[in-house]
Amino acid sequence: MSIATTYRTCPRSGLQFESQAEKLMLANAVAAVVFLLIGGLLAIGVVLTRWPSIHWLEADTFYKVLTAHGIDMLIFWIIFFEIAVLYFCSSTLLRCRIATPKVAWAAFALMVIGAVMNNVAVYQGSSSVMMTSYVPMMAAPSFYLGLILFAVGALIACFVFLGTLVVAKAEKTYQGSVPLVTFGAITATIIAVFTIVSGAIILVPTFLLSIGVIDAVDPLVYRTIWWAFGHSSQQINVSAHISIWYAVAAIVFGAKPMSERVSRGAFLLYILFLQLASAHHLLADPGLSTEWKVVNTSYFMYFAVLASMIHGLTVPGAMEVAQRQKGYNKGLFEWLRKAPWGNPTFSGVFIAIIGFGFLGGISGVMMGTEQLNMIIHNTIYVPGHFHATVVIGTTLSFMALTYFLIPVLFKREMIAPKLAQWQPYLFGLSMYGFCLVMMGAGTLGVSRRHWDMAFQGSALAYEWPGAAYMMMGLVGVFGIAAILGGAIYIYVTVGSLLWGKKLDAGTVSERTTPVPPTAPTVAAQTYGSSGMVAPGSFVLALIFLGAFVLYYFINWKYLSQLWGLS
Amino acid sequence: MTAISPPSERLWWKHPLDRVEGIWLAIAFVWCMVMFFMMVYWHMYGSQNLSTETYKTTPEAFAAKAQAMVDQYTVRSEVDGQYPVVAPPADSDIYMIARLWNFWPILQLEKGRTYRLHLTSMDYNHGFSLQPANINIQIVPGYEHVVTVTPNQSGTYSVVCNEYCGIGHHTMVGRIYVK
Ligand code: HEM
Ligand SMILES: [Cu+2]
Ligand SMILES: [Cu+2]
């Protein structure tokens, strides 16, 4: 069967792009960057208000801006980019046409309409309810409707992705199993479908409540189902950015996964267990039983933690094996020293891996522990944790991938390559600092989503310790540095797209060239034959474990000194 | 062969496990189990576990119970009479109302004694953030959460609202004295 479309083989990467898929990727990626820009501008307002000595915005503006920052970043920037990644992982990696391009465009249109509608509702001012929009606090109907339209669009895009996999299979554009990266993308999509359905179950009644069709939505039920949506969507991000890590290991080093079975098995664990972790947002809530909390957050979540710990070894491990094959064999870490630190695609991903694991991962498991949750719930520790996961982990990985895509997908020479080289360091490392001081302030109890830590106008004001003020000041300093890093990314990306030198698009053909089959390798036939192939990564993993164990038990010690609670 | 092309072995689940991976998998698994058992262990031997005792309630019903406590045990008042300071006996049921934008009343407790603290909200979600002890509990309207507390240090504690509850959120602070 042939459908009128063309396939372009990129002369720089050898990747083959189908013309419809290429345009869709471009559109989704551009929309993503636009929302990153908006979210970044809003971050200036957020951060300069939480910096106590500046305390810039008025309370109502601050809450409005914070609501928009959360939604534009966490939902719109990330999901638009993820849709582009899904199309890449299906159509490009499997070298097939995209299924139903018209439907994919309709999905894109719905997402844009929804995102704009939601943003307008927030700026109009009667929807400063934060992205979680806990009932009974209500936003304008268009706030919920915008989110619902966006979600429907994203759901349709997920099905276009799945349809494209079917096309590839039917038209035999590859043989055997899908690549690991595509497998990771499938994981993300399956979780996405579950997530969006949960979102619909709770946002649709809330929308009906906002227009007066129904009388009430129970606040505790809302929280429970909202987090089945809110937390699971973070697992989409994790699956997506870990897929990108494997992809970048392959692109930069030609690395192959150490063991397909282990890496894919780890992705499967995400599907099986991650969504249950939504319970860890409800650990400080009334009404839920201890057993429910312990089983959902720990027993099952720890299998998901196990999966992340596996990827934490196997991604650098794959890079290490590839480097060692090139002869960088000296000692434990020559492979790492000789890595291309000047290539932002690599450095971005590596800074993301380390920050995601050490800052986001460890803090996430600590706060997801039933009892320990009481010492950080709703403090600024929480945004400290998730800026490590969703900014250092996901956002920085997306940025790193973009640097690869500028010549390959955008067909432009990157403007300001020197600036791009520094960008992951500036953005990533200042985010490290930002997350650490937020967690520090949170450990002292400072609240999140709070306009004034001096409690102006309160009869019973509390006085935070000086250290808390100092840390919140540092949040400001590191935050501004990170915003600068984000601005460089946007400048380089948008600038290259607009006025970068046009590059050779490569040969265009009417039909696809299928993915060539790969010959079985000897090593892969024998069980456990390779031995200790990645000792450096193993040592890194042990250092990680040491930090993890130490920090975990320090927090139990801290907890044990509090008031008795039972 | 690499992660962006199909695996060379069709049956990827038969692909061998590297020794580094095998060892790490075992270590990570053990650590995950340790973390799991810590939570169960703390329920048996630790003294900081969040109660799950919860009842459905209404603002009227809860306010009536809180008022009864205030009428019986008020010892003085603060802030021009707006906040009664209530010193209920140990082991009794004590009430704190969270509403836009205050916690009411002020409680006065004794160190080392135990109380059944009832929490609910009259309107939106609020947060009970006890400072500087740093104990944080969600307050959800319609649900009366009974937390058994045993203060272990004397002093003046503040209750900061740490769930966003509207424009006056930053003014919502309550107080607990421990003698
Ligand atoms: C570029 C630098 C960034 C800075 C300086 C920054 C700063 C902040 C700060 C200070 C807060 C906490 C405010 C509070 O709770 O009082 C916050 C909240 C948040 N940020 Fe960022 N952020 C940045 C980028 C991002 C990115 C890239 C994402 C997502 C991908 C993101 C997602 C969020 C979310 C979801 C919230 C929570 C909003 C809420 O509580 O409802 N941020 N940000
Ligand atoms: Cu409040
Ligand atoms: Cu509040």
Q: Which residue of B has its CA nearest to A540?
A: B24
Distance, first Cα to last Cα, chain B:
70
CB contact under 8 A, B16 and A264: no
- Residue pair A413/A500 in contact (Cβ under 8 Å)? The answer is yes
ipTM, 2 decimals?
0.95
Sequence-separated (6 or more) residues with CB below 8 Å from residue A76: A31, A32, A35, A39, A115, A150
Q: Is B156 helix (H, G, I), strand (E, B) or coil?
A: strand
B45 interface with A at CB cutoff 8 Å:
no
Please state whether A378 falls in left (phi above 0), alpha (psi between -120 and 50) or beta. Answer: left
Angle, alpha carbons A513-A515-A520 (nearest 5°):
145
Q: Is the pLDDT of residue A142 over 80?
A: yes
| pLDDT for residue B11 | 65
- Residue pair B97/B66 in contact (Cβ under 8 Å)? The answer is yes
Mean pLDDT value across chain A? 92
- Against a cut of 0.90, is the pTM above it? yes
B141 interface with A at CB cutoff 8 Å:
yes
- Determine which helix (DSSP H) or strand (DSSP E) holds A284, and give its type and residue range: none
| pLDDT for residue A519 | 58
Q: What is the mean pLDDT of residues A540-553?
A: 97
- Residue of A288, A325, A239 lying closest to A523 (CA atoms): A325
Which ligand 1 atom sits nearest the alpha carbon of residue B164? Answer: 40
Helix axes A396-408, A19-50, angle to 10 degrees: 140
| pLDDT for residue A527 | 42
Q: Is the pLDDT of residue A274 over 70?
A: no
| pLDDT for residue A523 | 47
Report the side by side order of strands in the sheet with B83-86: B74-78, B83-86, B106-109, B173-178, B155-160, B126-131, B135-139
Pick A514 or A1 by higher pLDDT: A514
Per mean pLDDT, which range of A149-153, A521-525, A546-550 is the poorest?
A521-525
A497-518 per-position pLDDT tens digit:
999 999 998 989 888 888 877 6
| pLDDT for residue A302 | 82
The proportion of chain A whose per-residue pLDDT surpasses 70, expressed as a percent, equals: 95
| pLDDT for residue B15 | 72
How many Cα neighbours within 13 Å face the side chain of A56? 14
- Residue pair A136/A219 in contact (Cβ under 8 Å)? The answer is yes
For residues A85, A89, A91, A93, the Cα torsion angle rounded to the nearest 10 degrees is 140
How many Cα neighbours within 13 Å face the side chain of A153? 25
d(C-alpha A170, C-alpha A165), whole Å? 9
Name residue, tokens 């906040």. Answer: B83
- Cα A556 to middle of ligand 1, angstroms: 28
Q: Which residue of B has its CA nearest to A94?
A: B5
A364-393 per-position pLDDT tens digit:
999 989 899 999 999 999 999 999 999 999
d(C-alpha A216, C-alpha A208), whole Å? 9
Q: Is the pLDDT of residue B151 over 90?
A: yes
| pLDDT for residue A499 | 92
Q: Sorting pLDDT into bands at 50, 70 and 90, what band is A175?
A: confident
| pLDDT for residue A530 | 59
CA distance A58 to chain B (A): 10
A424-465 per-position pLDDT tens digit:
999 999 999 999 999 999 999 999 999 999 999 999 999 999
| pLDDT for residue B64 | 97
Rg (CA), chain A: 23
Pick from A180, A246, A566: CB nearest B148: A566
Please state whether A205 falls in left (phi above 0), alpha (psi between -120 and 50) or beta. Answer: alpha
d(C-alpha A68, C-alpha A56), whole Å? 17
A4-57 per-position pLDDT tens digit:
789 999 999 999 999 999 999 999 999 999 999 999 999 999 999 999 999 999
B27 interface with A at CB cutoff 8 Å:
yes
- Residue pair A396/A351 in contact (Cβ under 8 Å)? The answer is yes
**Chain B residues near residue A374 by CB distance under 8 angstroms:** 48, 50, 135-137
d(C-alpha A37, C-alpha A160), whole Å? 27
Pick B173 or A275 by higher pLDDT: B173
Phi then psi for residue A280, to 5 deg, are -70, -5
CA–CA distance from A252 to each of A49, A238, A404 (Å)?
A: 41, 21, 9
CB contact under 8 A, A176 and B152: no
Q: Is the pLDDT of residue A1 over 60?
A: no
Q: Is the pLDDT of residue B129 over 60?
A: yes
Q: What is the mean pLDDT of residues A54-77?
A: 96
Which protein residues are within 6 Å of ligand 1, measured from CB?
A: A 40, 43, 46-47, 50, 66, 69-70, 73-74, 77-78, 130-131, 380, 383, 387, 390-391, 395, 448-450, 475, 479, 482-483, 486
Q: Sorting pLDDT into bands at 50, 70 and 90, what band is A409?
A: very high
Q: What is the mean pLDDT of residues A137-148?
A: 96
A195-222 per-position pLDDT tens digit:
888 888 899 999 999 999 999 999 999 9
Please state whether A531 falls in left (phi above 0), alpha (psi between -120 and 50) or beta. Answer: left
DSSP B152: -
Name residue, tokens 């345009």. Answer: A23
SS3 content of chain B, % helix, strand, coil (to 5): 25, 35, 35
Q: Sorting pLDDT into bands at 50, 70 and 90, what band is A528?
A: very low
Tokens of A145: 């409707």
| pLDDT for residue A524 | 46
DSSP string, B50-67: ----EEE--HHHHHHHHH
Q: Sorting pLDDT into bands at 50, 70 and 90, what band is A542?
A: very high
d(C-alpha A160, C-alpha A176), whole Å? 22
State the burial class of residue A326 (Cβ atoms within 10 Å of its Cβ: 0-12, 13-18, 19+): exposed
Q: Is the pLDDT of residue A229 over 90?
A: no
A232-262 per-position pLDDT tens digit:
888 899 999 999 999 999 999 998 888 888 8
Rg (CA), chain B: 24
For residues A452, A457, B68, B152, the Cα torsion angle rounded to the nearest 10 degrees is 50
Q: Please report, as a single letter, which amino acid is at residue A284.
A: A
Which residues are found with C-beta within 5 Å of the ion, ligand 2? B 126, 161, 165, 172
Q: Which residue of A has its CA nearest to B150?
A: A564
- Residue of A9, A108, A13 lying closest to A401 (CA atoms): A13
| pLDDT for residue A286 | 87
d(C-alpha A554, C-alpha A362), whole Å? 12
CA–CA distance from B10 to each of A163, A168, A519, B15 (Å)?
A: 22, 16, 10, 9
Max Cα-Cα span within chain A: 75
